[in-house]
Amino acid sequence: MSKMNFCPQCGKTLTTKEKDGRERILCPDEEDCGYVFWNNPTPVVAAIVEHEGDIILARNAAWPPTWYALITGFLEAGETPAEGILREIKEELNLEGEIIEFVGIYEFHRMNQLIIAYYVKANGEITLSEELVDYKRLKDFEIKPWPLGTGKAVQEWQAKRGIFNEIIDFTRQVVLMFFVLFHSKQPIAARIRSKKQSTLVPQRCLKKYIQIQPILAAIHSIQF
């Protein structure tokens, strides 16, 4: 639910009340203002990106060194989902993409997101955006999906290709990391470390990390 305290229309303190069968945050001035925070899911576009025969997974600067993910991003106003994911691929990898297949739409309740996933073939030379620090190439059968978010897209996409991989549930680790990030009073660099490497998540990445909402939706490849 929202952390909003005040009505964005009239500034009154928001209240919680049942409306249309659910508890909702709304303005107490129902007659003159009538603002209701409906908390509708946010659309997120995602892609299984194929480049030179490999699937590209990327690692965000704020993530632990072993976490790699599909390319994802928020859909922007005025664009179709297909335009949105091709824009993200251009921004994140500097590749020109072509939609090969619509994979599906997947709910992701934990982040209140709706994931719209595509299979995209992309051309060009990969140049990572500032948000990304690394990428890796995997064959289609090497990706291990997780049970939520984009993991479901990967599962279904692989199943159509006759690939049935073990599903890796690392939700706990992700939730734990979020907990540490939000509650840490120590430098983040001291708190989060990889089991394989000594590289730490730098403090300067914290703000960006928290801002990146699709992160939980995106991560689906992790190797401890």
Interacting residue ranges for Zn ion, rule: CB under 5 A: 7, 9-10, 12, 27, 33, 35
Half-sphere exposure of residue 36: CA atoms within 13 angstroms, side-chain side = 12
What DSSP element (H or E) covers 216? helix 215-218
Which is closer to Zn ion, CB of 35 or CB of 74?
Answer: 35
Nearer to Zn ion, 8 or 187 (CB): 8
Nearer to Zn ion, 12 or 90 (CB): 12
**Minimum CB distance to Zn ion, residue 11 (Å):** 7
- State the Cα–Cα distance between residues 159 and 38, nearest whole angstrom: 35
For the CB of residue 27, give the shortest distance to Zn ion in the complex, in Å. Answer: 3
On whether the CB atoms of residues 218 and 70 are closer than 8 A, the answer is: yes
| Measured distance CA(199)–CA(65) in Å, rounded | 7
Closest approach of Cβ 19 to Zn ion, in Å?
14
- Positive or negative, the CA dihedral 84, 89, 91, 92 is positive
Q: Which is nearer to Zn ion, 37 or 74 (CB)?
A: 37
In order, the DSSP letters of 81-131 are HHHHHHHHHHHHH--EEEEEEEEEEEEEGGGTEEEEEEEEEEES-----TT
Cβ–Cβ contacts within 10 Å for residue 209, how many?
A: 18
By beta-carbon proximity to Zn ion, the closer residue of 10 and 210 is 10
Is 73 within 8 Å of 84 (Cβ atoms)? yes
CB of 8 to Zn ion, least distance (A): 8
Tell me the closest approach of the beta carbon of residue 30 to Zn ion, in angstroms.
Answer: 9
Q: How far is the CB of 7 from Zn ion (least distance, A)?
A: 3
| CB closer to Zn ion out of 9 and 203 | 9
